[in-house]
Amino acid sequence: MKKTGRHGYSGILWMTWMIAFMAICPSCSKESSRNPGGELSGDGLPPEVRLAPTVAKVSGDSFETGDRIGVFMFYPSEDSTHGGIGDLPAPYLDNEPFVCVEKSNGSGAAFVSQSGQKLRWKDEVTPADFICYHPYSEAADGQTLLHLSVRKDQSSPEALSDSDILWGRRSEAEPASEYVDILTSHRTGQLLIELVPGKGYDATILESALEGLVIKGGICRCVLDLSTGSLIAAGSTVSGDGTLPDASSMDADNVNDNSAEDVIPFADGLTFKALLPPQKIEDLMVSVRVAGMDRTLKTSLELASGHVTRCTITVNKLADGINVGIGGWKDDGEDFGGVLN
| Residue 264 to residues 109, 131, 136, 285, Cα–Cα distance (Å) | 30, 31, 23, 12
Integer Cα distance of 273 and 263 in angstroms: 10
Q: Which residues contact 190 (CB under 8 A, 6 or more apart)?
A: 58, 273, 274, 275, 303, 307, 308, 309
pLDDT at 115: 80
DSSP code at position 45: P
Of 254 and 88, the structure prediction assigns the larger pLDDT to 88
Residues 175 and 124: beta-carbon distance below 8 Å: yes
Of 136 and 178, the structure prediction assigns the larger pLDDT to 136
Binned at pLDDT 50, 70 and 90, residue 71 comes out as very high
DSSP code at position 25: H
Is residue 219 predicted with pLDDT exceeding 50?
A: yes
* Helix extents (H) in 169-213: 203-209
Highest averaged pLDDT of the listed ranges 17-26, 40-49, 151-160: 151-160
For residue range 240-288, list pLDDT tens digits in order: 343 444 433 333 344 456 789 999 999 999 999 999 999 999 889 999 9
Please report, rounded to a whole number, the percentage of residues in the chain having pLDDT higher than 70. 66
Highest averaged pLDDT of the listed ranges 189-198, 237-246, 311-320: 189-198
Give the burial class of 227: count Cβ atoms within 10 A of its Cβ; 0-12 exposed, 13-18 middle, 19 or more buried: middle
Integer Cα distance of 78 and 72 in angstroms: 15
On average, the pLDDT of the chain sits at 76
3-state secondary structure of 186: strand
Is residue 224 predicted with pLDDT exceeding 80?
A: yes
pLDDT at 6: 45
* Helix extents (H) in the chain: 6-28, 157-162, 203-209
Q: Which residues contact 125 (CB under 8 A, 6 or more apart)?
A: 175
Integer Cα distance of 202 and 295 in angstroms: 19
Residues 120 and 37: beta-carbon distance below 8 Å: yes
Residues 90 and 144: beta-carbon distance below 8 Å: no
Of 254 and 148, the structure prediction assigns the larger pLDDT to 148
Binned at pLDDT 50, 70 and 90, residue 317 comes out as confident
Integer Cα distance of 130 and 94 in angstroms: 11
Residues 71 and 131: beta-carbon distance below 8 Å: yes
Please report, rounded to a whole number, the percentage of residues in the chain having pLDDT higher than 90. 42
Residues 120 and 46: beta-carbon distance below 8 Å: yes
Binned at pLDDT 50, 70 and 90, residue 46 comes out as confident
Residues 264 and 220: beta-carbon distance below 8 Å: no
- Torsion from C-alpha of 99, 100, 104, 109, nearest 10 degrees: 160
Nearest alpha-carbon partner for 295 in 183, 209, 191: 209
Is residue 98 predicted with pLDDT exceeding 70?
A: yes
What per-residue string of b and e applies to 276-301 under the rule 16 or more CB within 10 Å gives b? bbbbebeebbbebbbeeeebebebeb
Integer Cα distance of 210 and 214 in angstroms: 12
Among 42-46, 173-177, 249-253, the least confident range: 249-253
Integer Cα distance of 8 and 322 in angstroms: 104
Binned at pLDDT 50, 70 and 90, residue 330 comes out as very low
